[in-house]
Amino acid sequence: MGIDAVELIPVKRSEKARIILRTLAELYPNPGIPLDHKDPFTLLVAVLLSAQSTDKKVNEITPNLFALASDPKSMAELDVDTIRHAIRQIGLANTKAKAIKSLSQILVDKHEQTVPQSFEELEALPGVGHKTASVVMAQAFDVPAFPVDTHIHRLAARWGLSAAKNVAQTEHDLKRLFPRAQWNRLHLQIIYFGREHCPARFHDLTVCPICSWASTKKRQREEAQINAQSRRRG
């Protein structure tokens, strides 16, 4: 559903949220988890690796890593250099390799090789922040969560759903707008929509299925100016 399906541009955030929810449900009724994994541990590692990288690149390197070790005990037994070599094509490989080894050892020592099912315990693991914990809770354990990264933060601003300056506040705003039962699916739907229809750079908001009606004219002009400046700079 694009602008043609909206007779009046909604002013209230709650009205926008209702239409966006319906639009995304029509476009992505059953969104799959974009990171390849087989269990909570491999998902946890994949999400950790995805920081400042792409899901596509993570999916390219994890088969080699998981061929070496796909459970906490075997991963903890690898040395950091071996892990780093397996993930060397990804950004922050050294830092991520140390975190993967350390968290694997903690899972062995404190959690009986099982990924904990609480935000507090997940966020206590090396390299695991709130966003990573939220993804694991939502996608591995089906606990309602709304992981917000910089991409979802940007779309929420474009759509006038949040004026927050950081992802934490954006998460708070989105959780208030959307039904709790929809959070896990909606998070994935927004990710897929952003990739296919709402990219970060050189995006024409006036033709986007959601931005065209949800964003303000001011926002549309500002992004058009930024795009023009970027093109002039080459």
Does the annotation count 131 as an active-site position? yes
Q: What are phi and psi of 206, to 5 degrees?
A: -75, -15
- CA pair distance 220, 38, nearest whole angstrom: 42
CA atoms within 13 A on the CB side of 183: 22
Among residues 55, 149, 175, 217, the one annotated as catalytic is 149
Distance CA 40, CA 136 (A): 7
Active-site residue (options: 131, 175, 217, 218):
131
Cα angle: 35, vertex 41, 45; to 5 degrees: 55
Amino acid type, 218: K
Contact of 48 with 100, CB cutoff 8 Å:
yes
DSSP for 58-82, written as a single string: HHHHHHHHHHH--SHHHHHHS-HHH
- Output the six-digit token pair for 151: 């991409």
Active-site amino acid positions: 131, 149
